[in-house]
Each structure stands twice: as structure tokens, then as C-alpha cells.
A and B are shown apart, each in its own frame.
Chain A
Amino acid sequence: MSLIQASGLTVSLGGGPPVLDRVSLSLDPGELLGLLGPNGAGKSTLLRALAHVYPPDAGQVSLDGLPLRWMGPGERARRIGYLPQAAECHWSLPSEQVVALGRLPYRQAWEGLGPGDWEVVERAMGETDTLDFIGRPVDALSVGERARVLLARAIAGEPQLLLTDEPVAGLDPAHQLEVMGLLRRLAGGGMAVVAVLHDLGLAARYCSRLALLHRGRLVAQGSSEEVLSAERLSTCFRVRVRRIDSPDGPIVVPVEALGRP
């Protein structure tokens, strides 16, 4: 049985058409699932439903066979790491304190962090290449540096399932590749990772599986060849892509915007 099983997830806001329409998917440890789709397809909503941040109107998500809504909030928080889009930190905390916030689900009310916690924090910062930022206030970092610190926070929670919404937005090419590589490594280490991505090329190269959302429906799941077919891309993204197989992995590049159907 898969680690994560989501079935029939439906979310509707107000009286309009559902933002998510009976989406079902499953994920095993070790998989890096790329969640793709045009703007407004419902990707962030799906991520929030998987994280149980905003529970869905219908359907359920189970982790290890246990439905999320039956789990206590603390256990959910320990098992699932969630990193929203354009995440930020409102106060000028030192970077290591931001990462340490990831340990909150492991701390009781008045406890501080123990040495074990700080080891995890250090490790998370090491993996995200943010150790240099220790002691520096997080708002003094660049956008990309800050994004890595916030990713470190999510990793510091030692989750079984990591859900990240556009983890590479705003990063320079080097860091984009590094973060995608990190996500792949984390998956390789036994985590299940879902990443919402806009860059088709990165998705094709790094993700073990892709899922395509269009108007709230899951229209395709599988390998990059299956999901990123020409007709899918023209329908959902209204682009024509060029696909090249290279020693570095498949390269998928949008080359032409297509008109309205």
C-alpha cells in the first residue's frame, strides 16, 4: 500500500465550479512527484488539502493507512512538512531560529530546543547550504537565500511527506538546480516529496513522476513522456514544446504559445 493515499479530494469555494474535482493520487516513499498545471488549476489547493492545512470538502487523505483527519494535529505536523508559495518570515529572526521553528511539533509548551533538536537543525541547514547564515537575521538575506532557509525549516521537521509549493521560484539557476537536486536526494533518502513546479524542464529532469492538473481535475499522472505529451501541453498550457533527450536528462522547453482553442 502506498504511503500516501488521496482519494476523491474535492474543494469548492462559494457557489462556483469546484477548485478541486475528485482528485485521487498516491505516493510512495522515495518518490519526487512534480505537480504541474496552468495558473488557477488548483495545484496550491491540492497541496493544502494534502497537508490538511485546509481540509477538503470531500474525499480523504491517509498516511500509512491512517486518515489525516483522525490524526492529532501534533502528529500530522511531525509527519508532514509544508512549505507554502512565497513563504516569508514576518519577524527579523536569526536564520537558525527560523529553521528551529520546524522543531515546534516536537517541543512541549515551555520547553526550549534540546541538543538533539539543534543537531537536526544543523543538518537541515547543511543540506540546504545555509550554514553560513547562522546568526544573520533572515530579512537581511536575499530572496533566494531566504527561500533556502525556509526550506531548511520544513526539512528540520523530519517529515515523512514534504509538500512544497514552487520551491525554486525566485532562485538563480545554480540554486534552482541545487534545490531540485536536494529534493531528489531527500526523496532518495526515504521521504515522499511533492513539489508544485512551473518549470516543465526542471520537472521533467528531476521528478520521478509527474501529475498534471487542469481546471481542478487530475488529467494525467506518470512519467514525463506520458504527462508531457504534445496534445496535453497544447490543451492545458496552450504551448508547443520541444523535447530533447540529453545525457543530463530530458530537456523540455516551451517554444511557442498557441492561441485560444
Chain B
Amino acid sequence: MVWPFLVLGGLTVVLFALSLATGPRGAPGAAVPDLRHDPELLRLILVQIRLPRALLGVMVGATLGLSGAVLQGFLRNPLAEPGLLGASSSAALGAVIALYFGLSALFPAALPLAGIAGSALGLMLVILLARGSGSILTLILAGVAVNALAGALTALALNLAPSPYAAMEIVFWLLGSLADRSLEDVGIATPFMLAGWFLLLRLGRGLDALSLGEETARSLGFDIPRLRLEMVLGVGLSVGAAVAVAGSIGFVGLVVPHLLRPLVGHRPGLLLPASALGGAALTLAADLAVRWFSAGQELKLGVVTALVGAPFFLYLLVRMRRVGPA
């Protein structure tokens, strides 16, 4: 059972290196001196521009993959992910309020903290709404409701914001981007993402037990309410911080656990670290695609993940309908 991890880890490393080696499209052509002759500029670009981008690709991707795997394991539902369940859009709402109304200028950590608060609240709301019913339909509808609410409030906030650019920037919050991030962004988000990962990775045993249903899991010694709390906190912390610096990137948390599940023998516990690696790899790959295909305007990362993820989601739905209600 080790080889999937080796392959995923190796893939992530390779994509990380590729990301460092790739510039944005539209960089000046003929008149640009070869960077090798200017080590200082090279270092500036590598360390201050490309490194944060690659690092965030890994961390945000791992967060999305891991959260998706945890949500799917807890809800026993292969269609769960932070984007569909409103965790991302609620995080965006929190971050927007903090950024455009000056809170993050007061102290930088306000941005990820607001994202975290939004994310946790949104997720709790979805879980409350879908409580008791294990059906996919109820869960997705609850997610639709929270997404709609969070989206509308975000648009409203941007409209009311003092900056004239705000209303157009909703595209970033809805579709995400890693372009021109700085090490400062990495710095404010990383502690919270790591804290979230710490909480989430420990849930593996509980998720394994939950395969047998909530009652059996309780009889095996697991405190399900506490598990749920740790999950909400973990997803809230990691997704909240990720969205605060990179916007809302969808479908990674849906696609990655689903693809990797057969490779780990369908075991929810093993799926967690695998999805973290897989999510990192997928996000890095998508960010590379963004740079290779960007023409005039910057292509947002969420566009690429949606182009991959939405058809995948439709395929999942169709397959489920054919197999019959779960």
C-alpha cells in the first residue's frame, strides 16, 4: 500500500519543480536579457514570485484534497467537498468583509481568520440543514442553499465596498488564482492550514469506523459529536485560510478523493494523506495549465479546475442514477 504514496509524492515534487521553472505567459520576449546573467534578478523572481506561487499550489491543493476526503468520509457520501458544501464560498465571504472594509489592513491575520470563521459557520449550517437525512439530495441542496446565500452576500459586500475595483474582483473570489502571490500570503495562511491539517489527519481511524455507520462507530469507541467538531474546525481552519489568500477553487476536493479511492482500497483513513498529496499535485498541474494557456487576461485557476471537475461531477451523478439511490 506504499506505492500510491510514492507515486503521488514524486508527482508532486516534479510538478513543484516545473512550477518554479515556469514563468507567466506574456513575459517580454526579445528585449529580455537572459536571466542567467543576472543572478540577483533571477533570485528575486524565483524566491519572491515563483516560490510563493508553487508553495501555495501545494498547500492549497493539499488542503482541498484533504478536506474533500474528510468530508466524504464523515458524510459517507462521495459527492461531498468543501466547494459544494459551502465551506469555500462562506470563507470567501469572510475574507471579502475583512479585506474590503479595512480589517486586514489593521492586522494581516484578520484576513485568514475571517475566512476561517466564514468557512466554519457555512459548513456547520450545511451539516445542520442536512442532519438526519443521509440522502445525497438533501446534502447537495443544503450546499446549494448555503452557496447561494454566501455568494449573494459576497456580491453585496463587494458592491458596498469603498474601492471601485471591488465589484469586478468577485471573479477572483469565485474562481481563485495563485498569480503574483507573495511570501507574506504564504506566511499568514500557512500556520492555519497546518493547524487544520493536524486536526484532519487524526480523523482517519474514526472515518474508517464510520464506514460501518454511526452507531457501530460509537460502539467501537469513537465520539462522533467530537469527531464532527474536529472536522468542522479542521476544514474551517484549512479551507478558510486557503480561500483567504487564493480565492475559492472548486472541484479539487471532489475529484481527487474519488480518483484515489480505489488506489487505497476504499479505506477512508488511508485516503486522507493520499488526497492531500493528490490535491497538491492536481492544483500544481492546473496552475501550470493556467500559465501555459493564458492569453491576454489572466486565466483563473478555478476555471481550469471547473473544466476538469464539472464534467467529472456530472459523470458521477449520471453513474449514481444508473446504479440506483444510495
The contact of A101 among B76, B202, B212, B215, by CB within 8 Å, is: B212
Q: Is the CB of A101 within 8 A of B208?
A: yes
Q: Is the CB of B219 within 8 A of A53?
A: yes
Q: Which of A9-49 contact B (CB under 8 A)?
A: 48
Q: Is the CB of B211 within 8 A of A73?
A: no
Report chain A residues within 8 Å CB of B219: 51-53, 77, 80-82
Q: Which residue of A lies closest to B72 (CB)?
A: A91
Does B205 sit within 8 A of A, measured CB to CB? yes
| Most chain A beta-carbon contacts within 10 A, residue among B215, B222, B223, B267 | B215
Q: Which residue of B lies closest to A92 (CB)?
A: B266
Does A260 sit within 8 A of B, measured CB to CB? no
A62-93, CB under 8 A of B: which get 1 and which 0?
00000000000110110011111001111111
Q: Which of under 10, 10 to 19, 20 to 34, or 35 or more describes the interface residues of A?
A: 20 to 34
Does B65 sit within 8 A of A, measured CB to CB? no
B136 to chain A, nearest CB (A): 12
A139-183, CB under 8 A of B: which get 1 and which 0?
000000000001001000100000000000000000000000000
The contact of A73 among B204, B205, B216, B223, by CB within 8 Å, is: B223
Decide yes or no: A93 and B220 within 8 Å by CB, A48-B215, A104-B208 being known contacts: no
A101-122, CB under 8 A of B: which get 1 and which 0?
1101101010000000000000
Report chain B residues within 8 Å CB of A153: 212
Does A221 sit within 8 A of B, measured CB to CB? no
Q: Which of under 10, 10 to 19, 20 to 34, or 35 or more describes the interface residues of B?
A: 20 to 34
A155 to chain B, nearest CB (A): 14
Q: Which residue of B lies closest to A74 (CB)?
A: B221
Report chain B residues within 8 Å CB of A97: 265, 267
Does B302 sit within 8 A of A, measured CB to CB? no
Does B218 sit within 8 A of A, measured CB to CB? yes
Does B268 sit within 8 A of A, measured CB to CB? yes
Q: Is the CB of A104 within 8 A of B220?
A: yes
Q: Is the CB of A87 within 8 A of B213?
A: yes
Does A201 sit within 8 A of B, measured CB to CB? no
Q: Interface of chain A, helix or strand or loop or mixed? A: mixed
Report chain B residues within 8 Å CB of A53: 215, 218-219
Q: Which residue of B lies closest to A107 (CB)?
A: B205
B200 to chain A, nearest CB (A): 13
A68 to chain B, nearest CB (A): 11
The contact of B205 among A54, A88, A109, A137, by CB within 8 Å, is: A109
Q: Which residue of A lies closest to B221 (CB)?
A: A77
A73 to chain B, nearest CB (A): 4
Report chain B residues within 8 Å CB of A92: 266
B48 to chain A, nearest CB (A): 38
Does B209 sit within 8 A of A, measured CB to CB? yes
Q: Interface on A for B, CB 8 Å cutoff?
A: 48, 51-54, 73-74, 76-77, 80-84, 87-94, 97-98, 101-102, 104-105, 107, 109, 137, 150, 153, 157
Q: Which 5 pairs of residues, A with B, have the shortest CB-CB distance?
A: A77-B221, A82-B219, A73-B221, A90-B76, A91-B266
Q: Interface on B for A, CB 8 Å cutoff?
A: 76, 202, 204-205, 208-213, 215-216, 218-223, 261, 265-268
A-B pairs with beta carbons under 8 Å apart, 5 shown:
A54-B218, A87-B212, A90-B76, A91-B267, A109-B205
